Structure 1
């Protein structure tokens, strides 16, 4: 059995181990890489399809989304797990491109395999830190939507600073979103939902789509995921938040 050198990718030609490298600051991260086994099918998809549909978030170039998605409107999805819901949304809405970001290698391989199996040419899989993607690699006003489904709730108080939905993140997302584009968050962690609602309501670049200023019903386009179904069976309540990007005055 051969051993990889530190930083060497697990799959040659596939996602990099640390795409942004040391040229970006070491800051508090909202995610933690998970080590889990990659199946033979996922490994095959990573090695064959990454050069076609995958990209590393290296922070060294600005993406041309029009070219990448053949002119389709593009939604950024941050954190897609194993990719089943992403693939379903892409299949049901082929006229929208999905730029799906995660750091979970098995999930990246699984989503690529699903995209190939179902002929989904409107999906691209990005590996790395979504903050660097937003800040360094996307043009202002280039996104038609942002989706953040079931982000890590970081339940311990001392870890709340790691939560993704913070004022700074919302400002960066707003700068990359077109006027009237929608930021859609979903969580089954009640205290995080309350904090999301508070932070989004207070942010000047976003306006709640709900007239009562509260949570939204789950829109038909967001599939009921396996993870969500398990939570509902345990009595968890899932909250959707849909906020519209306010047109700059």
Structure 2
């Protein structure tokens, strides 16, 4: 429950910050100068697309927070039998880290106008993201071959559910990454390419953070950390 409360505070904080930058509390009839100057001063410097993506990521974060809370509550039941994590997940984690790093480097290159580096970075990020998804499917196949089926145990069901939802978000991100890659190769305006790259990088960094949290949760490290915090607080 505490995890959900934290994420709700984050969402509320982001919403309050965004509203404060929209000039809702301003009093334009008391301002002096040209009307255009007043509007320009109250306008947010962030593009609308970034604000929209930030709100979407906050909602997604709340979704995974709910899954995490349900995971902790369900694992307290005696029939919970955690499944062994395939070693392939370590490799998949490294691949996703490389994908996020590639997009960060691509974002820097886009700011500098290095279009060839941008194209290379986008291709690298896309290929590594595909490799991550393929690796996740291989991990699923390995677990099912070892007898850890979806309905065999609640721990199995949570594993497939959480990793599957995360994979679907990666797949959705590949759609946006594909559109940005197409813009970079078809000679779109540099401002449009730069914005697309920055949005993809923002999305990828978030999904990497979520995956690291999921990996710690499934490996049991998160439960150990919570137990240590409880001992320190008592």
Q: Please state which structure has a larger fraction of its residues in helix.
A: 2
TM-score by length of structure 1 reads 0.21
Structure label with greater radius of gyration: 2
**Higher RCO (Cα < 8 Å, 6 or more apart):** 2
TM-score by length of structure 2 reads 0.22
Q: Please state which structure has a larger fraction of its residues in strand.
A: 1
